[in-house]
Amino acid sequence: MADVAIFVPEPSLAMSAVLITDLCWVAALYAERDPAHTIQVVSLTGDPVPSSSGLDVAVNGSLADVEEASLLFISAFWGSSGQALERNDEALGRITRLAAGGARIAACSTGTFLLAATGLLDGRVATTYAPYARSFRRRFPAVLLHPERAITDAGGLMCADAIPSSLDLIIACLGDLYGSDVATRLAADFLMGIRRSYTVANLAFDGQKYHGDRTILAVQRWFERHLDEPIRVQDAAQEFGLSSRTLSRRFVAATGEAPSRYLQRLRIESAKSLLAQPGMTVGEVARAVGYVDVASFSATFRRREGVVPSLYRSTEH
């Protein structure tokens, strides 16, 4: 079984395909896996894929050759979404089969059209390249499209809206596959100097939003919007006209986690992403995730991660 398969659709955006391939190749080396045997770059036919720039993207097989994979990336296409869907129609069943076999699927930028066309995203959250959002909505009305989001995760069906967010999505997925140490090394080597307005931490929380309780979903989004404020669960209960007890009961029923623990985990995961970026002190990170007292932040961080924030930054990033 391949660790990773990378599907290159026609016509390819070569930058997207090569970016995914390079990161996967390096990650496999870091994990002491032989990328020549564990990373498959495939097209629909097994032939090189013409790109928008006139260069061909080399592949080492066809999508039909991939019997199993832990992770499938769908790289971006360039040009008409209608033509891309028509030219890659035969890939849809194969993508669905890999998902049914347990593969996690990550679609980058316009590659999200192909994932949506399988029907796997119906009733689930997704994002896509913003200039294509109107076309996406028209073609896939059953998908819960949020083009304002950089990254989404619908229970192992992941989307990134553009090339910068694809970097983070790829590294997060490879971290899940090969371990956090590999993700840390990739981020240090490839994301240096990149400043993002979102946090990779949100990736881990999208999967807890498919529960059907609209009020609790609104609470989750309220937590995210007010993360830089010292909000409490009681504040959320008051905001949504619920007693604290009722909110807690419904939150646990919907997400499987107490709201206080969920909020704390959201703060700490967001803090970890911020600590990976240069230029912010520990105090600034603490305030950015809603802690007024730095000592309290450090103590909570240590309980969850086993080290204080400053040591986490120096050893992990």
Structure tokens at 56: 């061909």
Structure tokens at 176: 């899940």
Most confident of 57-66, 166-175, 201-210, 275-284: 57-66
Is residue 149 in some structural domain?
Answer: yes
> What's the pLDDT tens digit per position in 80-122?
999 999 999 999 999 999 999 999 999 999 999 999 999 999 9
Is residue 83 in some structural domain?
Answer: yes
> What's the pLDDT tens digit per position in 176-193?
899 878 888 888 888 766
Same domain, 44 and 188: yes
Q: Which pLDDT value is given to residue 155?
A: 80
> What's the pLDDT tens digit per position in 65-75?
999 999 999 99
The pTM assigned to this predicted structure is: 0.74
Same domain, 227 and 166: no
Same domain, 142 and 118: yes
Residue 54: left if φ>0, alpha if ψ -120 to 50, beta else—which one?
left
Of 201, 230, 263, at which residue does a domain stop? 201
Of 138, 170, 201, at which residue does a domain stop? 201
Indicate the angle between helix axes 163-178 and 180-190, nearest 10 degrees: 150
Is residue 75 in some structural domain?
Answer: yes
- H or E stretch covering 264: helix 259-275
Is residue 48 in some structural domain?
Answer: yes
Residue 250 is part of a domain; what is its CATH number? 1.10.10.60
Is residue 258 in some structural domain?
Answer: yes
Q: Which pLDDT value is given to residue 204?
A: 66
C-alpha closest to that of 24 among 2, 47, 46: 2
Task: Give the count of domains, the chain.
Answer: 2
Structure tokens at 163: 């090339």
Is residue 206 in some structural domain?
Answer: no
Which residues are within 8 A (CB) of 36 and not within 5 positions of it... i.e. 6 or more apart? none
Same domain, 230 and 175: no
Same domain, 174 and 89: yes
